[in-house]
Amino acid sequence: MNSATQSVSFGKTTLAVAGIFFLLCPTSSSAQTVQKFDVGKGERLLILAPHPDDETLGAAGLAQQVFEQGGSVRSVVVTAGDAYVDAIEEATGRHHLKRADFYKYGEQRLEESQKAAQLLGNGALKLNLLGFSDGSIYDMLVSNWWRKYPDKSEYTGFNHVYYKQAEKKGMAQDGQDLRNELVAILRTSKPTLIVFPDVMEDDSDHAALGMFALLAIDEWLEHQKPPRPQPRLLAYLIHWPNWPPGANGVKPVDYSQKPLYLPTNLPLRGHVRACVDLSRQQTLTKREALAQYKTQQNFMAPYLEAFVHSNECFTQLKPADTDGIEKVVKRWQNAKKSFSSHPNTRRRIL
Ligand SMILES: [Zn+2]
């Protein structure tokens, strides 16, 4: 979920620049056929999440199915979700927040990720906490690509990874380092299934991590000797206007016995929709894993519960869809120059 928040204008901008992506994709279609996604034996699942809880919201059910089929699961949480101003103000009862408040909140969220991972995998889920600053991913993609120009968080003040739970404390906060880290993870984990945010997500960190995922997958596959791996690529969606039902409610609504499909106004882009059906127990375990995110439950329980359904749906891409992704990133970087407002302008999303 969006820890931080985002500007209204960025939502529009995301859609505009994401449209560029269509230029390198097959023709968009209004047909929205949903395919049943089957998990094979011994799959290696890699889940990429911008903030603590996104991995659970997007793919906790899929992760359980992979374990049940004798596979392995690795989850990578890129930021600490430490810039959720409204939530921190509510939690502390103060409006004048200090850098230490943001840092402490990030630590709490990272610990919550560890608890959720423990619950989902009974200790078998490998969790990588990269510990970057909340809100930094888009900037790292479009304006802070090089190590000598790292992105500095306006909340914690860090321009490098500082959290004690992080994999590489001290790593500079720049795009090249993040991409290289993701490529290294791909090389060592050799995933057969890769789950990451949709580039059309209406949130800067989410959309940008979707781009980083495609960049890293392209780089990884390009250097593999034939026959190259053919991982199945699944893009999940968390942030979209007026979706999912119940997300903006006052109280959590139990939709756990009903399926949730991707919004019909999410362009198909020539890809396919794929859904996994969850058992009742898998759905309930997903809810239990989300309950570990106490900071988020305290602030937005209806939002979290809105993702607890009897299925999980994704946009499925092919490895060949990553071809030319560097050109698309260049277009995003250029488009940044025409933005009328900074994407990290914050507001509560609910
Ligand atoms: Zn998020």
Beta carbons within 8 Å of 293's beta carbon, 6+ residues apart: 52, 53, 56, 109, 112, 116, 304
Structure tokens at 158: 């860090």
**Cα of 147 to ligand 1 centre, how many Å?**
24
pLDDT at position 260 is: 98
Structure tokens at 99: 């850098």
Distance CA 2, CA 85 (A): 11
Distance CA 6, CA 333 (A): 18
pLDDT at position 19 is: 43
The ranges assigned to domains in the chain are 8-336
pLDDT 10s digits, 156-182: 999 999 999 999 999 999 999 999 999
**Cα of 54 to ligand 1 centre, how many Å?**
5
pLDDT at position 16 is: 40
Beta carbons within 8 Å of 104's beta carbon, 6+ residues apart: none
Question: Which residues lie near ion ligand 1 (Cβ < 5 Å)?
Answer: 1-2, 50-51, 54
Assess whether the previous peptide bond of 227 is cis (omega < 30° from 0). Answer: yes
**Cα of 322 to ligand 1 centre, how many Å?**
23
pLDDT at position 332 is: 86
Structure tokens at 83: 């810039």
Q: Which of the residues in the chain have pLDDT under 50?
A: 3-20, 22-31, 337-350
Beta carbons within 8 Å of 30's beta carbon, 6+ residues apart: 268
C-alpha distances in angstroms, 232 versus 126, 191, 337, 342, 346? 20, 9, 34, 34, 34
Distance CA 157, CA 143 (A): 17
pLDDT 10s digits, 4-39: 433 323 333 444 444 445 434 444 444 468 999 999
Residue 254 gets which letter from DSSP? -
Assess whether the previous peptide bond of 244 is cis (omega < 30° from 0). Answer: yes
Distance CA 182, CA 198 (A): 16
- 8-336 topology per CATH: Rossmann fold (3.40.50)
The predicted model scores a pTM of: 0.90
**Cα of 1 to ligand 1 centre, how many Å?**
3
